[in-house]
């Protein structure tokens, strides 16, 4: 298999969710993240002729997306007078008192690590979902990520409930195997 | 009594909170003596926890179709 070749036709199916997760974690706005992913695909097409084949397709697209995220922050900060640290007050009482001290990062907090780990986990799961057969991944995503009810999914895909549970079972078993090495350490 | 196949289906339903009380009872009875299903059930629960923790986001089908159209247009 020739993996270091670009197949733009398959980009959306293979990488859209992966890139989207990556973007959402960084801009924390689904709408903006979606636009960034779209821009990434277009920028990828534009510079496809510069693709050397040195990296895997996905790594290459992530590199473009990374630039897009940076550009996005640059853009929103470029307007005059806005290039400063902004602290959002959560409520009125926040605006009085030693707010700077109170907003300092807690050196003992482990929440930051959690967030990084959870993002890696999210990308790992997306990667595994992308490896599933199309029907299974569709069912799994609808059920687990979009949280749709069994009946709605059956109607939308034209299958019966026992069909659905078989597919859920297969998807879950594959995911367990796929995530096994790195994430199932107990 | 239920067999392993039925047990796994109930276990999957349980991950989405769709198993009835009777089913859950049957499942826990089965898990008492079935090692394979106990292991599956433990892993299944872990998978659910991982999925919840990962805070997954997905684009909807319509959004993907729209993206594809834009890309096709560009090619």
The dihedral over CA atoms of A158, A163, A167, A172, expressed in degrees to the nearest 10, equals: 130
Q: Which of A53-67, A154-168, B53-67 has the lowest mean pLDDT?
A: B53-67
Check if the beta carbon of residue A179 is closer than 8 Å to that of residue A160: no
Domain boundaries, chain B: 4-74
The per-residue pLDDT for B41 is 94
Asked if the model's pLDDT at residue B11 lies above 90, the reply is yes
Mean pLDDT of chain A: 81
Q: Is the pLDDT of residue A1 over 50?
A: no
d(CA A136, CA A123): 18
Give the best residue of B14, B58, B67 to mutate against chain A (max A CB count within 10 A).
Answer: B58
Distance CA A96, CA A92 (A): 8
Two tokens at B19?
């198993």
User: What is the reported pLDDT for A40?
Assistant: 92
A2 or A80: which leads in pLDDT? A80
Q: What is the ipTM of this complex?
A: 0.86
What DSSP string runs through B6-66? HHHHHHHHHHTT---HHHHHHHHHHHHH-HHHHHHHHHHHHHHHHHHHHT-----HHHHHH
- Which of the 8 DSSP states describes residue A84? S
Q: Where are the alpha helices (DSSP H) in chain A?
A: 8-27, 30-46, 57-78, 99-102, 111-131, 134-140, 150-157, 161-183
Q: Which of A19, A17, A123, A28 is CA-nearest to residue A72?
A: A28
Ordered domains of chain A (ranges, CATH): 8-102 (1.10.1740), 111-183 (1.10.10.10)
Residues 115-174 of A with CB under 8 A from B: 118, 121-122, 125-126, 141, 143-146, 150, 165, 168-169, 172
pLDDT band at A103 (very low <50, low <70, confident <90, very high): low
Whether the predicted pLDDT of A101 surpasses 70: no
What's the pLDDT score for residue B53?
Answer: 84
């Amino acid at each position: 298999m020739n993996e270091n070749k670009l197949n733009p036709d398959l980009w959306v199916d293979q990488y859209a969710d992966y890139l989207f997760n990556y973007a959402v974690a960084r801009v924390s706005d689904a709408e903006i993240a979606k636009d960034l992913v779209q821009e990434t695909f277009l920028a990828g097409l534009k510079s496809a002729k510069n693709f050397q084949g040195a990296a895997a397709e996905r790594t290459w697209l992530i590199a473009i997306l990374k630039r897009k995220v940076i550009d996005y922050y640059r853009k929103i900060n470029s307007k005059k007078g806005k290039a400063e640290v902004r602290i959002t007050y959560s409520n009125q009482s926040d605006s009085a008192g030693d707010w700077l001290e109170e907003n300092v990062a807690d050196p003992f907090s482990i929440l930051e690590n959690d967030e990084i780990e959870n993002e890696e986990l999210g990308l790992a799961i997306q990667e595994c979902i992308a490896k599933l057969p199309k029907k299974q991944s569709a069912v799994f995503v609808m059920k687990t990520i979009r949280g749709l009810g069994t009946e709605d999914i059956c109607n939308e895909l034209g299958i019966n409930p026992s069909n659905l549970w078989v597919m859920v079972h297969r998807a879950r078993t594959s995911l367990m195997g796929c995530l096994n090495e790195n994430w199932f350490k107990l | 009594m239920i067999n392993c196949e039925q047990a796994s289906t109930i276990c999957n339903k349980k991950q989405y909170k769709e198993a009835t009380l009777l089913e859950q009872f049957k499942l826990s009875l089965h898990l008492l003596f079935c090692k394979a299903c106990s292991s599956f059930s433990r892993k299944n629960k872990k998978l659910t926890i991982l999925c919840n923790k990962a805070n997954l986001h997905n684009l909807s089908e319509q959004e993907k179709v729209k993206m594809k159209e834009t890309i096709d247009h560009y090619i």
